[in-house]
Every structure is written in structure tokens, then in C-alpha cells.
A = this chain, B = another copy of it.
Amino acid sequence: MVTLYDYLDSGNGYKIRLLLAQLEKGYNWVELDILANETRTPGFLAKNPNGRIPALELADGTCLAESNAILWYLAEDSPFIPDDRLKRAQVLQWMFYEQYSHEPYVATPRFIVKHLPADSPRRAELPDRMARGRAALDVMEAHLRRHRFFVGETYSIADIALYAYTHVAHEAHFDLTPYVEVSAWIARVASQPRYVPLTQRPAAVTAA
């Protein structure tokens, strides 16, 4: 059985929890407190030298990092990755978009707002990050005007990757009201079979 190193409020970790639930695959779950630097201990750095969750430990002890690479590993040969070569590349296109153009500007503001003190100097980053976050949401809104899901009109790991932080963007005080198509897509993702919410603590929990 695989072990997921994770932090409950992490959207990147949630991507893996959501896919594992939809694949009906059991797993051990180990929560690390990222605010207490539990991802920077020698023990965890031996698993992921980049010191970040999520990380997926396989039965043979190999540890895989980067949420979207873990999604790909778990979803190969499942309906959550298309068979067609171009569509596979488009899934990756949206996942790289998510990590480069979306996550730093939608997820990071949420982290600053939710988890750092009210007087944190990092709050100075919010105006620029949130402007770029709105630009990222604009690109999604335009795409969803013509498509039900991000690739090939079917739900895939590209949707999971983008959903993770988009559906909680309001926690960073993004106003999603003008994003009519994004909001409708959020509802479509949340109605997929075997959906689990971000706040749902996995059943099989191992103490860190």
C-alpha cells in the first residue's frame, strides 16, 4: 500500500486524495505540520530532498514528489488520462499552467491570508500575486466558455489539478462571482462520482 505524506489544508495534497478516492485505492496517510517545518526534518528530506508535501511513498520505499507528477503516476491507464497523444499533452499543458501561472498567484495568497500572522511582511505580496491570480482565472474562464472540462470534454487530472486551489480561491478573498463559467465547472467537478471535499480527513491515518 502507498503512503501519502500530506497536510490537510494543502490543495496540492488534496489533488492526490481526490484522485485516490476516485480510483477507489486505499492508502496510508501521514500528516506533516508544514507550519512547524515538519517537511524540513532530516527524515523527511531523505524522502523528498525538496522538502515539500505531497510526497507519495511506494511499497518499495521509492518516494515520488510534485503533486502533478503523482497524479500522472496514479492515473496512467485510467479514465482520468486520455489515450490520445495530443490530449495527453494538453492535460500536461494545463497542469504546467497550474503550477507556473496559477498556483503561485491563487494558492500562495490563500496561504498568506489563512496561515500567516496579520502583520506578516508577506502580505505586501498580495496585490501583485492576486492581480496575476485574476489573470490566471481569466484564462480558465475563457477556455470554459467553449468546453465543459479542460481537455477532451471529459473529466481528467487536468481538472483535478486546477480545481484544487480554484474552488477555495474565496479563502484568499478572490471574488469568483464574475467567473460564471469557472463557477459552473467547479460545480461539475464537485458532482463527479466518489468526490471527497478538501476538508475530509482520510480514514487511514498514521501518526507522523
Given A86-B73, A92-B72, answer yes or no on A50-B97 (Cβ-Cβ < 8 Å): yes
Q: Is A167 an interface residue (CB 8 A)?
A: no
Task: Give the CA-CA distance A72 to B143 in the complex, in Å.
Answer: 22
Q: Is A66 an interface residue (CB 8 A)?
A: yes
| Contacting residues, chain B, for A97 (C-beta < 8 A) | 50, 65-66
| Contacting residues, chain B, for A49 (C-beta < 8 A) | 139, 142-143
Number of copies of this protein chain within its complex: 2
Binds B, one of A21-29, A99-107, A196-204: A99-107
Task: Give the CA-CA distance A96 to B93 in the complex, in Å.
Answer: 11
Given A50-B139, A139-B49, answer yes or no on A89-B70 (Cβ-Cβ < 8 Å): yes
Q: Would you call the interface of chain A mostly helix, strand, loop, or mixed?
A: helix
Given A64-B89, A89-B64, answer yes or no on A96-B69 (Cβ-Cβ < 8 Å): yes
CB 8 Å contact bits of A126-168 with B (1 = contact, 0 = none): 0000000000000100110000000000000000000000000
Whether A72 contacts B89 by the Cβ 8 Å rule is: yes
Given A101-B50, A139-B50, A143-B49, answer yes or no on A76-B88 (Cβ-Cβ < 8 Å): yes
Q: Is A10 an interface residue (CB 8 A)?
A: no
| Contacting residues, chain B, for A93 (C-beta < 8 A) | 64-66, 69
| Contacting residues, chain B, for A191 (C-beta < 8 A) | none
* Contacting residue for A72 out of B58, B76, B88, CB 8 A: B88
Residues of A participating in the B interface, judged by any CB pair closer than 8 Å:
49-50, 58, 62, 64-70, 72-73, 76, 85-86, 88-90, 92-93, 95-97, 99-101, 103-104, 139, 142-143
Known: A64-B86, A66-B96. 11 other contacts (CB 8 A): A64-B90, A66-B100, A67-B96, A68-B96, A69-B95, A72-B88, A72-B89, A72-B92, A73-B85, A73-B89, A76-B85
